[in-house]
Chain A
Amino acid sequence: MNDRSVNMTGVVADRPGQDRRPGAGEIDVGKPILTAEEFSVFYGDNEAVREVALDIAARQVTAIIGPSGCGKSTFLRAINRMNDLIPGCRTSGVLALAGQDVNAPGVDVVALRKAVGMVFQKPNPFPKSVFDNVAYGPRLHGVGGRGRLAEVVEDSLVRAALWEEVKDRLQDNALGLSGGQQQRLCIARALAVQPRVLLMDEPCSALDPRSTARIEDLIGELRGDYTIVIVTHNMQQAARVSDMTAFLYEGRLVEFGLTDQVFTKPREKETEDYITGRFG
């Protein structure tokens, strides 16, 4: 395993004060919002994520790449504890959100998931109206009043770049939207509860190239407002949308660094082999 030196601090040392793209200067890279230390996830006896240590910076896009079964989705789903659904799944080590261990006893999972939104591999809108889909979270967390709710829904849809397309059909069933629209609706739904972190689990794998491009544009727009962690199979996508890239292989964190550096000058042999398509 690549040691703790591959973390945010080390990375910042690599590129002091430089702006890789517009707006990056506002990113507070010094303060990681998510910290993993010796973090492992087990399915029964099988260790799916092995002692991963990394810091994810606030308001940046972090991509997690790796071949199938490398534990990247498992790691992602550990952040908002979606793995709780899987019987026999347990963790060790520390995974902290803003300094608070998410697996500590007494942590309110509801509050955690309110702070950490998630977008899934397949678009999964509820079989309800577009409005009710977006309003589901706010209603759940007690946003009252029709006016206030409509405001939140519109704001979320605008942020998800979907408002113009659906503003006249808010009461239509969400399943009538196209796949790409459904996925942006799911993003709007996640944004409506005002999370600090947005997890995306291969959000474009079920979409056509044009819809994929729209989602990628959207990720670019959300960057700076939200901390985004995206798991992807598609290395071009990781290169296009992310600031930082983590490469996982067989549950280990092999390499973590600036996206440019990981893709152009990988430090590890395994990373290079994977990126150049020798396996995976």
Chain B
Amino acid sequence: MRLPTRKLLDRSFSGLGVFSILLMAAALIILLGPIFVRGFGAFVFRGTVEYRRVMRDKFGRGDRAAIAQEVAAATAARQNVYDAIAEFEADRSRRREYRSALRELKDAVRALLGPFPDDPRPALLRDQYGQTRWDRARAKLHDLLYRVEYDYSDETRMGVPLDVPRANDFKGTSLEPLFGYIEQNLEQMLRPRLTVYWRFLFDESYDAHFFGGIWPAVLGTLYLTLGAMLIAAPLGIVAAIYLAEYAGEGRLISVLRTCISTLAGVPSIVFGLFGLAFFVNSLHVSGSKSVLAGSLTLAVLVLPTVIRASEEAIRAVPQTYKEAALSLGASRWHTAISVILPAAIPGVLTSIIISMGRAAGETAPIMFTAAVSLGKPLKLWETLSQPTPALPWNIYNLCTEHAAVDEIRHVQYGMVLTLIVLVLLLNITAIVLRARISKKLRG
């Protein structure tokens, strides 16, 4: 090949490499950007007076006098709304004509500001308070100002939703100006303020994630992950030492190796079903789902990875270390424990922490064995018998099975962000730890 051609090929290849790296970086930013921005919204947002009421009532936080003052001011601003509606209702002549429109209006006001002063106390916590977040309040305001009607005029197409101002329903009545008043004075009624809710991580959750934080799920994930590693790490390391140092190249061993490789590729849902069938239904490690059963299942899931990676790390230890130890009269297992394993620790540790990241993020293995949608944070001994919420499962659960997921998207994104940061932190720890220990070993 001629020189110019070679140079051209060389340059185009490196160009291709740079291009693919850039593409990957862009994909990562496009993927992670919105997650970070929206997840951030769970921690930093404009909280209304209702948020501060929840914090006071449920967590005993905040300056009681200041909140009472704020509530009084908000109530004063809302009084006009309640008065106007009460006055309109009092006029019996129009009751029949406006019955359904009025009911819808009252429900919209309740959704926005909470129950009317003379309402009986609602059963559900979420109905006892107005909107706690300004972004949700804006959405509810829109629902209050407009109702949706479908336009079926074009027969060839599906009905097109149209926003119809509710003010039109009350045209010419005393309620018509109310809509403008609410739109104008919503800030006085809800008093939004920039709020940093870092305790979102550490707060219990109330009323199916409507209020409070995600601590039970975070704690559950930590329990499950650490439990899985407590089981998988010792087993995996011992198995790796055996495979690398003791097992020969026999037929049985090669079958075993193939099995381990195959296990590493089995879909995680299969492990989930296996965990249910074996740990829960056959061994009865717990009456039903429990953190213990989930940890065992996750341990089985990551075990092949731990074994394979640790075995590689152990095999990479220079043979000369082994010879030196043996020549000093060390037995095989003592050589393995005192010389080979310490020298292989960076690799072994990396495999364990990477597996931790995997265990933390898996949903399928825990859905039948450990995870529930709601629960209190568990005490340590309760993990032996109790199920727990866990981040990956709750993320899935919120977006598929929650009755009113649109109301609490911020919780879902907060969970996603927390999980990603958790896994990221684990991986960074792995990298730092590995670098440190390698440096120490190299002297």
Given that A127-B343, A176-B443 are known contacts, is A117 also in contact with B323, CB under 8 Å in the complex? no
Given that A175-B442, A176-B443 are known contacts, is A80 also in contact with B325, CB under 8 Å in the complex? no
A82 pairs with B326, CB closer than 8 A: yes
Give B348 Cβ to nearest chain A Cβ, in Å: 14
A85 pairs with B323, CB closer than 8 A: yes
Q: Which residue of A lies closest to B437 (CB)?
A: A127
Residues of chain B lying within 8 A (CB to CB) of residue A120:
320, 323-324, 327
B323 pairs with A127, CB closer than 8 A: no
Residues of chain B lying within 8 A (CB to CB) of residue A172:
443
A110 pairs with B441, CB closer than 8 A: no
B327 pairs with A80, CB closer than 8 A: yes
Give A192 Cβ to nearest chain B Cβ, in Å: 8
B321 interface residue (CB < 8 Å to A)? yes
B329 pairs with A189, CB closer than 8 A: no
Task: Report B59-98 CB contacts with A as 1/0, cut-off 8 Å.
Answer: 0000000000000000000000000000000000000000
B248 interface residue (CB < 8 Å to A)? yes
A137 interface residue (CB < 8 Å to B)? yes
Q: Report the Cα distance A137→B329, complex, angstroms.
A: 7
A91 interface residue (CB < 8 Å to B)? no
A72 interface residue (CB < 8 Å to B)? no
A117 pairs with B443, CB closer than 8 A: no
Of B323, B328, B339, B443, chain A has the most CB atoms within 10 Å of the CB of: B328
**CB within 8 Å of B: which A97-146 residues:** 110-114, 117-118, 120, 122, 124-128, 136-137, 140-141
B327 pairs with A127, CB closer than 8 A: no
B443 pairs with A124, CB closer than 8 A: no
**CB within 8 Å of A: which B390-441 residues:** 440-441
B321 pairs with A124, CB closer than 8 A: yes
B330 interface residue (CB < 8 Å to A)? yes
Residues of chain B lying within 8 A (CB to CB) of residue A112:
329
B338 interface residue (CB < 8 Å to A)? yes
Give A234 Cβ to nearest chain B Cβ, in Å: 21
A193 interface residue (CB < 8 Å to B)? yes
Residues of chain A lying within 8 A (CB to CB) of residue B318:
124
Q: How large is the interface on A (under 10, 10 to 19, 20 to 34, 35 or more residues)?
A: 20 to 34
Given that A127-B442, A176-B443 are known contacts, is A193 also in contact with B328, CB under 8 Å in the complex? yes
**CB within 8 Å of A: which B289-335 residues:** 318, 320-331, 334
Give A110 Cβ to nearest chain B Cβ, in Å: 5
Q: Report the Cα distance A118→B329, complex, angstroms.
A: 10
Q: Count residues of chain B with CB under 8 A from any CB of chain A.
A: 23
Q: Report the Cα distance A141→B327, complex, angstroms.
A: 13
Given that A122-B320, A126-B324, A127-B441 are known contacts, is A114 also in contact with B343, CB under 8 Å in the complex? no
B342 interface residue (CB < 8 Å to A)? yes
A147 interface residue (CB < 8 Å to B)? no
Interchain CB contact (< 8 A) of B443 among A122, A140, A173, A189: A173
Q: Report the Cα distance A193→B325, complex, angstroms.
A: 12
A189 pairs with B320, CB closer than 8 A: no
B329 pairs with A111, CB closer than 8 A: yes
A118 pairs with B327, CB closer than 8 A: yes
A137 pairs with B323, CB closer than 8 A: no
Residues of chain B lying within 8 A (CB to CB) of residue A65:
none
Give B439 Cβ to nearest chain A Cβ, in Å: 10
Interchain CB contact (< 8 A) of A140 among B248, B323, B329, B441: B329
Give B326 Cβ to nearest chain A Cβ, in Å: 7
Q: Which residue of A lies closest to B330 (CB)?
A: A140
Give A148 Cβ to nearest chain B Cβ, in Å: 18
Q: Report the Cα distance A117→B328, complex, angstroms.
A: 6
Task: Report A155-170 CB contacts with B as 1/0, cut-off 8 Å.
Answer: 0000000000000000
Given that A140-B330, A193-B328 are known contacts, is A124 also in contact with B320, CB under 8 Å in the complex? yes
Q: Report the Cα distance A117→B324, complex, angstroms.
A: 10
Q: Report the Cα distance A172→B441, complex, angstroms.
A: 11
Of B318, B330, B442, chain A has the most CB atoms within 10 Å of the CB of: B330
Q: Which residue of A lies closest to B439 (CB)?
A: A173
Residues of chain B lying within 8 A (CB to CB) of residue A175:
441-443
Give A190 Cβ to nearest chain B Cβ, in Å: 7
Q: Report the Cα distance A198→B104, complex, angstroms.
A: 97
A231 interface residue (CB < 8 Å to B)? no
Give A75 Cβ to nearest chain B Cβ, in Å: 16
Residues of chain B lying within 8 A (CB to CB) of residue A122:
320
Q: Report the Cα distance A193→B248, complex, angstroms.
A: 31
B248 pairs with A87, CB closer than 8 A: yes
A193 pairs with B323, CB closer than 8 A: no
A85 pairs with B442, CB closer than 8 A: no
Residues of chain B lying within 8 A (CB to CB) of residue A137:
328-329
Of B327, B334, B440, chain A has the most CB atoms within 10 Å of the CB of: B327
Q: Which residue of A lies closest to B319 (CB)?
A: A85
**What 20 new A-B contacts, CB under 8 Å, besides A120-B327, A140-B334?**
A80-B327, A82-B327, A111-B329, A117-B327, A117-B328, A120-B324, A122-B320, A124-B323, A126-B325, A126-B339, A127-B440, A127-B442, A137-B328, A140-B329, A140-B338, A172-B443, A176-B443, A190-B327, A190-B328, A193-B328
**21 interchain pairs, CB-CB under 8 A:** A82-B323, A85-B322, A111-B329, A113-B326, A113-B328, A113-B329, A114-B328, A125-B324, A127-B321, A127-B342, A127-B441, A128-B342, A136-B325, A136-B338, A173-B440, A173-B442, A175-B443, A176-B443, A186-B324, A189-B328, A193-B329
**A residues adjacent to B (C-beta < 8 A):** 80, 82, 85, 87, 110-114, 117-118, 120, 122, 124-128, 136-137, 140-141, 172-176, 186, 189-190, 193
Question: Across chains A and B, which 8 residue pairs bring their CB atoms closest together, nearest first?
Answer: A173-B443, A175-B443, A124-B320, A118-B327, A176-B443, A127-B441, A114-B329, A113-B329
